[in-house]
């Protein structure tokens, strides 16, 4: 009997991806928006610290990047499957542009407050729940199914380059032009992204939807997305695996600065070096992600990447030198983006087209919940057993994630 592993191996072959047309505009929208987000993301914590001395309130700014997913993630997926996804995306970006422009004016006039900052962060992420699920569902209608892996890889790589190596380094320049400049730039990028998505017109092939039964509720739609995710053994195993890994990543990220500056004693320069190595590894991984999946098959690629990340985490937590940490984070980023590209592609290909928004929402909501939980766990572990132990705990969680993935990979094809 054929297995999911064999099926994913056969599905791994891709075709050339054309930049012209819908995908090029979607890519441009994603990249330009990521540039603005990088400016805002780096500037907001600095603004928060200037507005309050409360560590709790500053931490809440980060929490607002997770909480709406837990509250509204499933709702965003259900709405994405009910509406025209292209229109939803450009409308959301236009709304986010208006919010950012209004916030920029408040900052420029000196009327910004920590309460306004928290409200902005919460509103932007709430809108993102609809945008991201709609984007995931729209992409398969813009590119051929065999090109999905390459499309996802190019999207993620472009966003990584623009955010980490272009946007973030320009924050000091933007702030030098004025305290409101990062937020003005972010508003402009939202409007530009909205225009690019709107320009798709009717070219995107919307998935066929059955006529909606009278009285059908959003709640029922959300429940169906969860059911589809749970009934597909591979997607269910992948979701559980990703959630466990995200707990580990949350623990690592929350304590990484302490690990590098404290346990390694490498200072701020050392921390900058490992973050840069992670970015370079991620970009490099994105460039080869599709080819790796083609050669190994999608499910085996996930397993190999998980093993590589475990090895990198063990090296990070046991070898007390900066070069080892730089190499470990570079390898970790390289394997991580290949995992992400492959995971999203598998979800897009295995989910019913008319339910992809809801399945994506269920997957994202469950997996994203692991990050804040991991951040709290990392702090507790570091305080109790040492600053290097969150990396080791993350390795254990990744190992558990791979064990959870095995039954799904070996499941027979339905």
Considering the domain architecture, whether residues 198 and 241 belong to the same structural domain is answered as no
Tokens of 203: 């070219």
Q: Tell me the per-residue pLDDT of 8-43, one tens digit each, with 9 for 90 and over.
A: 444 445 556 666 668 888 888 888 888 888 888 878
Tell me whether residue 216 is in a domain: no
Considering the domain architecture, whether residues 290 and 239 belong to the same structural domain is answered as yes
Tell me whether residue 214 is in a domain: no
Considering the domain architecture, whether residues 196 and 233 belong to the same structural domain is answered as no
Tell me whether residue 210 is in a domain: no
- Look at residue 202 and tell me whether its pLDDT is greater than 60: no
Considering the domain architecture, whether residues 226 and 199 belong to the same structural domain is answered as no
User: Structurally, how many domains does the chain consist of?
Assistant: 2
Instruction: Look up the pTM and report it.
Output: 0.84
Q: Which domain holds residue 126?
A: 4-203
Q: CA end-to-end span of the chain, whole Å?
A: 10
Tokens of 125: 């992420």
Considering the domain architecture, whether residues 120 and 226 belong to the same structural domain is answered as no
Q: Tell me the per-residue pLDDT of 105-134, one tens digit each, with 9 for 90 and over.
A: 999 999 988 889 889 988 998 988 888 888
Q: What is the pLDDT of residue 394?
A: 96
Higher pLDDT, 383 or 53: 383
d(CA 305, CA 74) in angstroms, rounded, equals 28
Considering the domain architecture, whether residues 57 and 118 belong to the same structural domain is answered as yes
Considering the domain architecture, whether residues 174 and 266 belong to the same structural domain is answered as no
- Look at residue 334 and tell me whether its pLDDT is greater than 80: yes
Considering the domain architecture, whether residues 322 and 396 belong to the same structural domain is answered as yes
The residues, any chain, with a CB within 8 Å of residue 156's CB and separated by 6 or more, are 286, 289, 337, 340, 341
Assess contact for 293 and 345: CB atoms under 8 A: yes
Considering the domain architecture, whether residues 163 and 292 belong to the same structural domain is answered as no
Considering the domain architecture, whether residues 250 and 312 belong to the same structural domain is answered as yes
Higher pLDDT, 249 or 58: 249
Please say which residue of 203, 238, 254 terminates a domain: 203
Instruction: Give me the mean pLDDT over the 90-113 stretch.
Output: 93
Tell me whether residue 414 is in a domain: no
Tell me whether residue 209 is in a domain: no
- The mean pLDDT of the chain is 85
Angle between helices 389-409 and 4-11 in degrees, nearest 10:
100
Considering the domain architecture, whether residues 266 and 131 belong to the same structural domain is answered as no
Considering the domain architecture, whether residues 252 and 112 belong to the same structural domain is answered as no
CATH number at residue 72: 1.20.1250.20
């Amino acid at each position: 009997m054929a297995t999911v592993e064999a099926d994913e191996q056969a599905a791994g072959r891709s075709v050339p991806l054309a930049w012209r047309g819908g995908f090029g505009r979607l890519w441009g929208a994603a990249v330009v928006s990521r540039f603005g987000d990088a400016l805002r993301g780096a500037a907001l914590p600095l603004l928060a610290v200037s507005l309050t001395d409360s560590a709790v309130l500053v931490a809440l700014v980060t929490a607002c990047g997770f909480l709406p997913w837990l509250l509204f993630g499933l709702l965003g997926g259900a709405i994405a499957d009910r509406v025209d996804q292209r229109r939803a995306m450009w409308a959301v970006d236009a709304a986010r542009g208006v919010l950012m422009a209004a916030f920029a004016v408040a900052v420029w006039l000196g009327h910004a407050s920590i309460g306004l900052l928290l409200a902005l962060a919460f509103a932007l992420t709430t809108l993102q729940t609809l945008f991201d699920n709609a984007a995931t569902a729209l992409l398969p209608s813009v590119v051929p199914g065999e090109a999905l892996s390459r499309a996802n890889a190019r999207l993620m790589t472009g966003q990584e380059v623009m955010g980490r190596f272009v946007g973030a380094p320009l924050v000091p320049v933007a702030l030098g032009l004025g305290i409101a400049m990062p937020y003005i730039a972010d508003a402009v990028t939202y409007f530009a992204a909205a225009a690019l998505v709107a320009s798709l017109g009717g070219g995107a092939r919307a998935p066929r939807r059955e006529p909606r039964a009278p009285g059908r509720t959003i709640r029922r739609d959300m429940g169906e997305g969860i059911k589809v995710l749970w009934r597909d053994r591979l997607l269910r195993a992948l979701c559980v695996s990703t959630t466990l890994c995200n707990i580990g990543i949350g623990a690592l990220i929350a304590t990484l600065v302490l690990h590098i500056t404290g346990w390694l004693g490498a200072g701020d320069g050392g921390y900058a070096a490992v973050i840069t190595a992670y970015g370079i590894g991620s970009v490099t991984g994105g460039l080869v992600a599709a080819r790796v999946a083609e050669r190994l098959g999608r499910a085996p690629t996930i397993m190999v990447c998980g093993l590589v990340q475990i090895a990198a985490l063990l090296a990070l937590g046991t070898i007390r030198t900066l070069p080892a940490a730089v190499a470990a984070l570079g390898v970790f980023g390289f394997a991580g983006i290949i995992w992400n590209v492959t995971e999203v592609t598998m979800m897009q290909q295995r989910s019913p087209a008319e339910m992809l928004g809801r399945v994506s929402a269920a997957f994202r909501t469950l997996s994203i919940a692991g990050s804040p939980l991991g951040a709290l766990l990392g702090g507790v572990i570091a305080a109790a057993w040492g600053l290097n132990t969150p990396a080791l705990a993350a390795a254990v969680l990744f190992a558990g994630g791979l064990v959870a993935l095995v039954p799904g990979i070996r499941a027979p094809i339905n």
